[in-house]
Amino acid sequence: MSGADDELVDHVTLLGAQVLRWWPSESDFPLTEGWFAKEDDEPKSPQQLFDIYNRSVGRNSVYLMNVPPTRTGLFAPASNEALAGSAELLAEAYTTNVAIGAPVTVTTADGTSDVLEVADGNYLTSATSQDGSYVVTLPEATGFDRVQLAEDTYHHGQQVSGYTLEARQDGEWRTIGTGVTVGASSILEMEETVVADQVRVTLESTRGTPHLAEVSLWQNTPGASRTIDGAVVDCSVERAGDGSAERPFNNVEQLREVTFAPGATLTFRSGADCGASTATFWGYGTDEAPVTVVVADGDVAPRIGEVALADYLTDYEAQGWDLSALSTPTDPEPEPEPSFSDVGADNQFFTQIEWLAERGISTGWDNGDGTASFRPLEPIARDAMAAFLYRLAGSPEVELPASSPFTDVSPEDQFYEEIVWLHARGISTGWENGDGTASFRPLEKIGRDAMAAFLHRLAGAPAHEAPATSPFTDLTPSTQFYDEITWLVSSGVATGWRGNDGTAIYRPVAPVARDAMAAFLFRYVEAGLPTGE
């Protein structure tokens, strides 16, 4: 069965199939002319083997080569040479992935968002994009020779039936390839090295909701080897790296792609919790040069899902792996309960919201059962914003006026003192009513533009030379609060979004959600900006 759409329909309608399961095809072939060894055998050349790899693995299939042993029980010398030669070609082509750890912009119901699951070397994580586009942003214009795509077939099967690849070069997008199915793997070789700062994958047609697991941009690296002397794994870091101390692997699935040489050292960061995995690691040690596994920067036992690392690797001792350094680390202390029942550790802004709670800036809403909720996606109102900034400033004493500075805020209101403080500090003047009075509109949602103005004034309205050309396509120098917004961006407090065309947008009038406000205040303090404490 080829898996074509009409065949799938026939199996359901004519043959009564109840369940469809994805399974990869196998590309079986012999290294030599026959399946069994003969004295005059001539193996396929390294280049032939490399080409078969690209035509099988590169076309959603499994590379399954038969290597017949001789009557001695060993492979023939010519076979060993062919295998070693093809390994060199594969290492040259598929060792340097310039996209690893890069942010990938996808389209969501709320606009666009950057995800890291599509360039993390992990085929079990993935992301969806509402319009089918995935934009990989590289740190700088970089060359690559092959593009490899993969769907999360393990969890979601094969859905893609057509796609287009584009590269942004000198600010212009150009098509660099098209493909049909993706499945477990689709590889497109470029006619020549492509140098680009962004690559866009557009899924033109799909059977169902596609979950793209990987976009790899492979750069030819002469002399490269996939047999390594060591690697560092730190599953607490946000972005996947190349396994070096500076850019560690951040998931154990990345270890599937390397082989450890005798004498190599595999280092796990103390307390690493790498999630469940069935990854097989490659490499054999010897008595004189074992593959050594160590824990660095502490004594908390690493874990692979619910399994201690030492238990996960027990079988590798038979391969010459030394696990003796894993016997001493202690189990981690239990994680403290989150401050809010609706903000778990998997929340994008969990750290920032926990910081907000620890500082007493937000207490959330009482659930009536001893817990509290934060309502992270709820837009923050102007009165709550006043309370946040007041508490950030240390809840200073406020001299209350004889009458409210705003006609729509009375002394009985929940955040009256905080709003009075905000007015006294000059952070908000409200709106003129036309009769000499002003209103605050306490329950109105605060927009991203006004939020920038509030934080700029909280910082003392520092001088700032706004750029003559806007860094965002939805802002111009004449936009209200343009100076304040560009100051906020230059201070590292806000970044905006990247659109599908690679340009940046700020969305100035979009309301600020409570989780995003936690992130803004966290970055504000991290940047060393004054709070008035």
pLDDT tens per residue, range 263-307? 999 999 998 888 888 899 999 999 999 999 999 988 887 889 889
Q: Which pLDDT band, with edges at 50, 70 and 90, does 132 fall under?
A: very high
Residue-level pLDDT at 39 = 78
Q: How far apart are CA 29 and CA 8, in angstroms?
A: 27
**With 70 as the cut, is the pLDDT of residue 316 above it?**
yes
**Inter-residue contact 16 to 151 (CB < 8 Å):** no
User: Considering the chain, what is the average pLDDT of its residues?
Assistant: 91
Q: 234-252, pLDDT tens digit by residue?
A: 999 999 999 999 999 999 9
Residue-level pLDDT at 429 = 87
Residue-level pLDDT at 337 = 85
Top pLDDT among 39 and 158 is at 158
What average pLDDT does this structure show over 110-128?
Answer: 92
Region label for 403, one of left (φ > 0), alpha (ψ between -120 and 50) or beta (otherwise): beta
Q: Which pLDDT band, with edges at 50, 70 and 90, does 326 fall under?
A: confident
Beta strands in 156-311 (DSSP E): 160-169, 172-179, 186-206, 212-219, 227-233, 259-269, 282-283, 291-296, 303-304, 307-308
Residue-level pLDDT at 383 = 94
Residue-level pLDDT at 533 = 62
**Which three-class secondary structure string do you get for 143-191?**
EEEEEEEEECHHHHCCCEEEEEEEEEECCEEEEEEEECCCCCCEEEEEE
Q: 157-211, pLDDT tens digit by residue?
A: 899 999 999 999 999 999 999 999 999 999 999 999 999 999 999 999 998 899 9
Q: How far apart are CA 378 and CA 516, in angstroms?
A: 10
**Inter-residue contact 106 to 116 (CB < 8 Å):** no
Cα pseudo-dihedral 205, 192, 217, 111, rounded to 10: -50
Residue-level pLDDT at 194 = 97
Q: 435-482, pLDDT tens digit by residue?
A: 999 999 999 999 999 999 999 999 999 998 999 999 999 999 999 999
* Owner of token pair 């680390």: 329
Percentage of the chain beyond pLDDT 70 is: 96
Q: How far apart are CA 329 and CA 193, in angstroms?
A: 47
**Inter-residue contact 363 to 387 (CB < 8 Å):** no
CB half-sphere exposure, 36, CA atoms < 13 A:
1
**With 70 as the cut, is the pLDDT of residue 331 above it?**
no
* Owner of token pair 């280092």: 267
**With 60 as the cut, is the pLDDT of residue 3 above it?**
no
Q: 496-523, pLDDT tens digit by residue?
A: 877 666 678 899 999 999 999 999 999 9
**With 60 as the cut, is the pLDDT of residue 48 above it?**
yes
**With 90 as the cut, is the pLDDT of residue 19 above it?**
no
**Inter-residue contact 121 to 173 (CB < 8 Å):** no
Q: Which pLDDT band, with edges at 50, 70 and 90, does 229 fall under?
A: very high
Q: 392-444, pLDDT tens digit by residue?
A: 999 999 999 989 999 999 999 999 999 999 999 999 989 999 999 999 999 99
| Structure token pair of residue 462 | 């520092």
Cα pseudo-dihedral 310, 314, 319, 321, rounded to 10: 20
Q: 54-88, pLDDT tens digit by residue?
A: 999 999 999 999 999 988 888 999 999 999 999 99
Length of the chain counted residue by residue = 533
Residue-level pLDDT at 389 = 94
Residue 60's Cβ-count burial label (10 Å; 0-12, 13-18, 19+) is: buried
Helix (H, G, I), strand (E, B) or coil at 85: helix
Q: Which pLDDT band, with edges at 50, 70 and 90, does 17 fall under?
A: confident
Q: Rounded to the nearest 5 degrees, what angle is found at the Cα of 151, between the Cα atoms of 146 and 152?
A: 135
Residue 120's Cβ-count burial label (10 Å; 0-12, 13-18, 19+) is: buried
Q: Which pLDDT band, with edges at 50, 70 and 90, does 384 fall under?
A: very high
